[in-house]
Amino acid sequence: MSVPMTGWRFEPLDRSSGVPLHRQIRERIAGAVERSHSARLLPSDRELSALFGVSRLTVRQAVDALVRDGVLYRVQGRGTFVRDASVAERVTATTFLQPWLSGRRGYRLAVDELTRARAEQEGIARWLECAPGAEVVRVRRSRFVEEARVAVDVRFLPFDLARSLTVADVTGGPLTNYLVKRVGVQVARGHMAVLARPADAEEARLLNLRPGDPVLVRRLQLRSSTERVLLAGWSIYRPERTVLEFTVSG
């Protein structure tokens, strides 16, 4: 029979199976996560140790494995939580918005800013490889899951390419769609980098964090076949709500 605990139900261990106990606990917790639609805070290592009748080290092995798998995440001083896998993002130039474009309930895109700007701001001249002071278009788009803002996308495009960009283009799909279908330029290659850093005051306000809390940042730059930079910018994520997935081939 399954064992209930504070909104959770865990299947008992099979000590005669020969399967290592930490692996069984990992499977029991993963199964409970799949079945639970409301419980988000996992019982503590001490509670799980008492429940399963094993050492805390064994429990820690199981929980750490699920953290590495992206199923759980830890917050120091608060506990271990279930990661919302629905905000997992497969990172390419064209598909990272797919969950928000699929009509999935609770997902929403909003355009916070679509303005003309000057490239001397925020080092954008260097990013776009244009003359300092050149006119550009700045876009800021927010991504929500169940009305919680989980990511903010900031993009800069050369003005001659983005003069016809509309709010519908920004919320209707990746900006590469606009470049290809409306402008007629092809994205030949891109560069991305992912890093963690402290949130500044504005990022903290937008993502409901405290200034200095960690955020996950994905920087990107897209080029045409003639090596012109078509788009540059970054996306900022709440780290505990995000899994970035990359496919590597050789």
One CATH from 3.40.50.12780, 2.130.10.10, 3.40.50.620, 3.40.1410.10 for 85-245? 3.40.1410.10
pLDDT of residue 86: 47
Q: Domain 3-82 adopts which CATH fold? A: Arc Repressor Mutant, subunit A (1.10.10)
Low-confidence ranges of the chain (pLDDT < 50): 1, 86, 94
Domain boundaries, the chain: 3-82, 85-245
pLDDT of residue 9: 85
Q: How many CB atoms lie within 10 A of CB 71?
A: 19
- Tens digit of each residue's pLDDT (9 = 90 or more) over 136-194: 999 999 999 888 899 999 999 999 999 999 999 999 888 999 999 999 998 898 888 89
pLDDT of residue 242: 76
pLDDT of residue 1: 45
